[in-house]
């Protein structure tokens, strides 16, 4: 490495024995909830500049450190809300960093920044993944396609994520005339409940099939009652559907729309599902690197959604998602990351980049 990064934080701990661990600690200590990523982005820029790498933020706040596009290392800067005291605790396998984002996805983000500096790979830290994926959407619209993409999300240091379900969100809206509650005609609230019950019935879970292969339906918000002027009854329901790769967003949307008897649904910009090939040179490089680090590679399919879905929709190149951390701790009140797993993930990323001859 060409320079020593000077920590911005004055805090110190005996477990912060490497530059990478220190960067991780500082980023987790910097609040970066979606929409407020600027300070964390600035720390990333400082880190790259300390290593004589060009770094800048774009119009939406993404951090770019251009390099060798044989591999683009990219993860998201933002976290979900929730204050977890940042501290290093003794765990069964050594010190653990506790704090919001340590797993999702500041751990993968910091590991990728360190690996990018060590190998010369291109790096982008994107914003807004936890909300609208505005950073990833801007990236595919404004950047040329790299030769390969390594997307940063927690898979465990020995796991490789190849697939994610898609995401479809919408808001159902209905109105009805106000009237006495003794009247038999259904009101707007009943219409909303009825539509959603029918949608859930269409996608009724099959206990014999993996969740990844099914549509998951989830209401996430409800509002209803008499209008301000007292002349009508109103109801809105915010809903989310996760779409497996064996279906398209349009197919799922059409099935949900077919259950409408009254009211309308305003669908938001969707995120398509993705399933990548485990036989690409990139995926093989990860399996080799994990074995070389004394791990047993695991190939994963996630029931959620990530920015890789958007990259795969616009870029026709090999890609996987990888990063340290137990994804069951995503958004959890006990989110924490073993620092030894972080170190192993950095080693794996460096090994993968070197095997792909990044920087050569």
Backbone torsions φ then ψ of 173, nearest 5 degrees = -130, 130
CA 358 to chain centre: 25
Residue 338 β-bridge partners:
96
For 315-346, give the DSSP string.
--S-EEEE-SS-GGGTT-TT-EEEHHHHHHHH
Catalytic residue among 78, 104, 234, 307: 78
Instruction: Check residue 33 and report its DSSP letter.
Output: B
Residue 116 CB partners (closer than 8 Å, separation 6+):
48, 53, 65, 67, 73, 122, 123
In this structure, are residues 95 and 25 in contact, taking their beta carbons and an 8 Å threshold? no
Q: Which residues contact 319 (CB under 8 A, 6 or more apart)?
A: 148, 149, 150, 151, 276, 282, 308, 311, 312
The answer to whether residue 78 is catalytic is yes
Tell me if 47 sits within 8 A of 21, measured CB to CB.
no
First and final CA of the chain: distance in angstroms? 16
Catalytic: which of 129, 307, 326, 341? 129
DSSP line for 61-98: S-EEE--EEEEEEEEE--B-S-----EEEEETTEEEEE
Establish whether 129 is a catalytic residue.
yes
Show which residues are catalytic: 78, 129
């Amino acid at each position: 490495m060409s320079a020593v990064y000077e920590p911005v934080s004055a805090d110190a701990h005996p477990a912060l024995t490497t530059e990478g661990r220190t960067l991780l600690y500082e980023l987790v200590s910097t609040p970066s909830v979606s929409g407020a990523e600027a300070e964390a982005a600035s720390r990333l820029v400082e880190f790259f500049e300390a290593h004589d790498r060009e770094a800048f933020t774009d119009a939406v706040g993404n951090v770019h450190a251009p390099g060798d596009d044989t591999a683009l290392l990219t993860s998201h800067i933002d976290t979900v809300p929730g204050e977890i005291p940042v501290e290093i605790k003794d765990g069964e396998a050594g010190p653990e960093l506790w704090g919001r984002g340590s797993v999702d996805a500041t751990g993968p983000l910091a590991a990728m920044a360190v690996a990018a500096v060590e190998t010369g790979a291109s790096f982008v830290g994107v914003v807004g993944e936890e909300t609208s994926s505005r950073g990833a959407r801007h990236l595919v619209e404004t950047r040329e396609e790299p030769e390969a993409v390594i997307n940063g999300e927690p898979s465990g240091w020995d796991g490789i994520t190849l697939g994610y379900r898609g995401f479809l969100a919408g808001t159902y809206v209905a109105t009805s005339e106000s009237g006495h509650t003794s009247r038999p005609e259904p009101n707007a609230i009943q219409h909303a409940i009825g539509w959603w019950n029918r949608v859930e019935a269409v996608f009724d879970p099959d206990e014999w099939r993996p969740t990844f292969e099914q549509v998951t339906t989830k209401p996430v918000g409800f509002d209803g009652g008499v209008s301000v002027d007292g002349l009508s009854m109103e109801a809105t329901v915010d809903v989310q559907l996760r779409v497996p790769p064996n279906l398209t967003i349009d197919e799922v949307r059409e099935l949900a729309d077919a259950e409408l008897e009254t009211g309308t649904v305003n669908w938001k910009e969707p995120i398509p599902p993705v399933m990548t090939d485990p036989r690409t040179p990139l995926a093989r490089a990860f399996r080799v690197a994990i074995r070389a680090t004394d791990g047993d590679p695991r190939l994963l399919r996630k029931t959620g959604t990530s920015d890789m879905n958007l990259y795969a929709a616009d870029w026709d190149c090999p890609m996987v998602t990888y990063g340290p951390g137990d994804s069951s701790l995503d958004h959890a009140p006990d989110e924490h990351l073993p620092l030894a797993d972080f170190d192993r993930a950095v080693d794996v990323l460096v090994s993968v980049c070197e095997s792909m001859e990044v920087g050569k």
